[in-house]
Chain A
């Protein structure tokens, strides 16, 4: 189970959170100008990075607020947690992961 640092409440178990997928996906500025292809990109296409990935989480059983995180999709380590509206931090510069994330990786089959 992931241990996730809610920016408002501190570290809590993953089961308190709801996953919201890719972060920083902007609603089209001029929706009427979009072609079907562009609409499809907006609605159905999301990045699916292997490695550092910016995503949204909501602390649905706690403060009920959304926030953003950069997480490594291979190790599942959280590299950064930051409020909505803030730009994606430069995670290359970030030092050690903020929190350890998995508690049961020991017995996992790779």
Chain B
């Protein structure tokens, strides 16, 4: 935990002018866009590609999230996807030659009711069957992992135990983006910032290019990685996605010496907490109920999450909130992502990662790149196709995924 953050890198990528055409264009320079470009270049030899970002690299949810990485999801499709992602996280610092402080300090998902306990134990068993590390801990064992937690029985919702995934953790999100960006750039990918896509051009059922604030670009493959704006982009291509955009907020405290050695999440009283490498307590909660694009949310959500945090961690009572902010997440009805071809030839959708897509960044990139390069899904993202809403093969992680979306 005392590890020092890596130095801010010198500018590690070129800032080229957009070319008139590319083999593929990726919209969105967040983690998912960057990881997709990385695996397109590395695994599929596609380097005549561009990432178009309307703002600055990783200025969206990538650098707004609370960086929790875990793979303890309930359903087989989810465990496969998120566990692949976790395995990639474990090798990426070396592969990208950049120490972005991936810290496997474990995650506790607390249970506060008898139903929570049963659901949690079921998930531990499901995880074990899928080769995901998971344990059930009683309150005393929870306290051993995280000594500052209050396991008293005088709480409205006492801690009745927790699931523990030791390999879970956190990483420095902006450095993850820079690490991917440097490698993409080395392999010839054009990273183009301040370039907003304003239109997606089709001829009949085929994509032929995009319009941008820096001119038109011809391409036969357009890949959307625009968490939060997925519906807006899909609309430009004349299609509809089963997505709703919601504000999700986070906050940090001032710096403290190390007090919080792991990640604690509670679905029931809804707060999640970790301590950043520098020392801030980083906290998040649930989405605001209404649809929104404003990158901010309601104060009552923050108030409730702080009340829950102080009850669980009495020593936080005197901590000051330093900063709060919001991002816009794109949520599907089954709380699982979409990594899929669309009804338009050459248009690919990666979206719907909702409140939990940071952890999925490497696997999203890997499988989405495969889908774009081969025009067919990777085995891991085949269940995440858009047609699941028609076939009824939903991957319903609501509640099951150990967090309320």
A interface residue numbers (CB < 8 A to B):
1-2, 13-15, 18-19, 21, 36-37, 39-41, 43-50, 53, 55, 71, 73-76, 102-105, 107-110
Contact = CB atoms under 8 A, between A and B. Distances in A.
B293 interface: yes
B190 to A, nearest CB: 27
Residue from A13, A45, A109 whose CB has the most chain B CB atoms within 10 Å: A109
Interface string B306-350: 000000000000000001111000001100000000000000000
Given A14-B300, A44-B389, A46-B244, A76 B231 contact: no
A19 B299 contact: no
A68 B389 CA distance: 27
A109 B294 contact: no
B242 A44 contact: yes
Interface in B329-381: 332-333
The 10 closest A-B pairs by CB, nearest first: A108-B296, A48-B231, A109-B325, A19-B289, A44-B242, A40-B390, A40-B389, A104-B299, A44-B389, A1-B298
A47 B324 CA distance: 29
Contacts of A21: 244, 291
B76 to A, nearest CB: 21
Contacts of B244: 21, 46, 48
Contacts of A55: 290-291
B333 A105 contact: no
A92 to B, nearest CB: 19
Interface of B: 229, 231-232, 240-245, 289-296, 298-300, 323-326, 332-333, 389-391
Contact of A105 (B292, B293, B296, B324): B296
Given A13-B300, A53-B291, 4 more contacts: A48-B291, A76-B294, A108-B325, A110-B295
A93 to B, nearest CB: 23
Q: Is the interface of B mostly helix, strand, loop or mixed?
A: loop
B325 A45 contact: no
The interface centre, meaning the residue of A18, A37, A108 with most chain B CB atoms within 10 A of its CB, is A108
B300 A15 contact: yes
8 contacts: A1-B298, A39-B390, A41-B240, A48-B232, A50-B293, A73-B290, A74-B294, A108-B296
Given A21-B244, A48-B244, A73 B299 contact: no
A70 B389 CA distance: 28
Contact of B292 (A41, A73, A109): A73
Contact of B333 (A44, A71, A110): A44
A109 B326 contact: yes
Contacts of B300: 1, 13-15
A102 to B, nearest CB: 8
A36 B388 CA distance: 11
A109 to B, nearest CB: 4
A1 B299 contact: yes
A39 B290 CA distance: 24
Contacts of A2: 290, 298
A107 to B, nearest CB: 7
Task: Indicate the member of B229, B300, B332 with the most A CB atoms within 10 Å.
Answer: B300
A103 B297 CA distance: 11
Contacts of B290: 2, 19, 55, 71, 73, 76
Contacts of A103: 299
A53 B231 CA distance: 13
A109 B296 contact: yes
Nearest to A71: B290
Contacts of B299: 1, 103-104
A89 B2 CA distance: 58
Contacts of A48: 231-232, 241, 243-245, 291
Nearest to B291: A73
B336 to A, nearest CB: 12
